[in-house]
Amino acid sequence: MAEFTLLDMEHFATEAWGPLGTSTIKKWAEFNRLYFEDSLRPVPIVMTHAQPFGKRLAFCSYNPDTHGRTITLNVPKKHNTLLADNAVLLHEMIHQYLFERGEEASHAGDGWRREIMRINWLIAGKEIWAGRSTTARRKVDGVVVRMNVPHPDTGKKSLGQSDIALWPHNRRGIRLGKLGAPGSGSRDRGVPVGPIAQS
C-alpha cells in the first residue's frame, strides 16, 4: 500500500469537509512543525457529528500492525458551533506522537505527562508539573486517596489527574482557537522550538 502523505490528508479532509477540512490539515501541519519537529506521520483526520456515548470530543486510533490510524474530531452538524477546536487537535496529536514512538499513550503514562509539560512551556512559557498518579493515606483521617506526586526536587504541587487528562483544556488558560483557525498560541511563533525531550 502506498504511503499516506500530507497531500493525501488535505485531499481527504477537503473532499469531506471543504474549507474546514483544509484549514484543519494546515493546523495539523503547523502543530507538527512547531511541537513535534515534523516527526508525525500523516494520518487521516475524520470529523464526525457525534462521538460514541456522547462524552468524547475526539480520539486517536492507532494500530501499529495494520493501517488503522486516524484522529477523529467531534464537529456538530452546525459548523459554527464546534466542539473540537485546535487545542483538542493538539491533544490528539500528543497521543499520535506517543503511539508512533511506541510509548504508553494514556493520560496516566510517563510520556503523556512529559509531553504536556514540554508543550505547555513552548506555548505559554510557563512550567507546569504533572506528577505520576499514586495513592496515599491522608494524615488527618487515614483515608486512602488518589493524588499526583509533587516534583521530587522542588516539591512543587502537581496538576490533578483530571487537569493532566484534559490538557490543554484545563484551567491553565491556553486557548488555541477554533478548529483550523490561524494562530498557534506559541510564544515563539516562527522560532524553532528545540529538540524534543527524550525519555
**Cα separation, 99 vs 95, whole angstroms:** 6
Predicted confidence (pLDDT) per residue in 78-87, tens digit: 555 447 889 9
pLDDT at 195 over 90: no
Q: Does domain 6-126 bear CATH number 3.30.2010?
A: yes
Maximum mean pLDDT: which of 1-10, 19-28, 43-52, 178-187? 19-28
Cβ–Cβ under 8 Å, residues 167 and 121: no
**Cα separation, 88 vs 177, whole angstroms:** 10
Q: What residues does each domain of the chain span? A: 6-126
Mean pLDDT of 115-140: 92
Mean pLDDT of 115-123: 95
More confidently predicted of 194 and 107: 107
| Secondary structure, 3-state, 138-194 | CCCCCCEEEEECCCCCCCCCCCCHHHHHHCCCCCCCCCCCECCCCCCCCCCCCCCCC
pTM for this prediction: 0.82
